[in-house]
Amino acid sequence: MTVPLARMIWMGGAVTAGVLLAPVSGAGEPPSRPAATAASRAQALALTQVLHTEENAGAILSRLRDRLVQMLERENAGQPPAKIETAVDEVLVPDLEARRHELVAGIAEIYARHFTADELRALQQFYEQPLGQKLVRLMPDIGKESLLLANMWARQAAQEVMSKHAGELRARGLNR
């Protein structure tokens, strides 16, 4: 089963959009967190299984493959697209697939730093329940919708405030 990319980005773009819209704490300084423990790491790895992180990593690799093809097409104008795709699929993708476990382990480490082993166990229990499975199933769509909303809102709000304050910006020597 292929799981959409959004779920990989910690339960979807809703979280990504949440990060974009969340208040910033401490002028760019990361909040202090307790270090991950062996117990929280082990529990985080178990949670990644319930969240289908391995499958989501496959979706990320698929998107990365497409980006690599696009990049090589731009850098090798005139080359047949099929030649570039074949090279990416035969040369680059196998190495990326071999490194998938690094991504999963890194994601588990993030969870382990943010949650205690007991909290991760509780999350796993939640995600194993029907409501948790429904959330896992729906988060890619919710994430996409949230990200679209955040982008539309940001574009509209920026245009409106830039127009509203164009005179003030000009008075400060800024073109608009």
For residues 76 and 85, give the distance between their C-alpha atoms in angstroms, rounded to a whole number: 12
Predicted confidence at residue 33, as pLDDT, reads 72
Each domain of the chain, given as residue ranges in start order, spans 5-12+34-171
Decide: pTM greater than 0.75.
no
Percent with pLDDT over 90 in the chain: 72
Predicted confidence at residue 138, as pLDDT, reads 93
Residue by residue, DSSP assigns 81-132 as HHHHHHHIIIIIHHHHHHTHHHHHHHHHHHHHHHS-HHHHHHHHHHHHSHHH
Predicted confidence at residue 20, as pLDDT, reads 42
The tens digit of pLDDT for each residue in 18-56 reads 444 444 444 555 666 778 999 999 999 999 999 999 988
The tens digit of pLDDT for each residue in 59-106 reads 899 999 999 999 999 999 999 999 999 999 999 999 999 999 999 999
The tens digit of pLDDT for each residue in 141-160 reads 998 999 999 999 999 999 99
Predicted confidence at residue 176, as pLDDT, reads 65
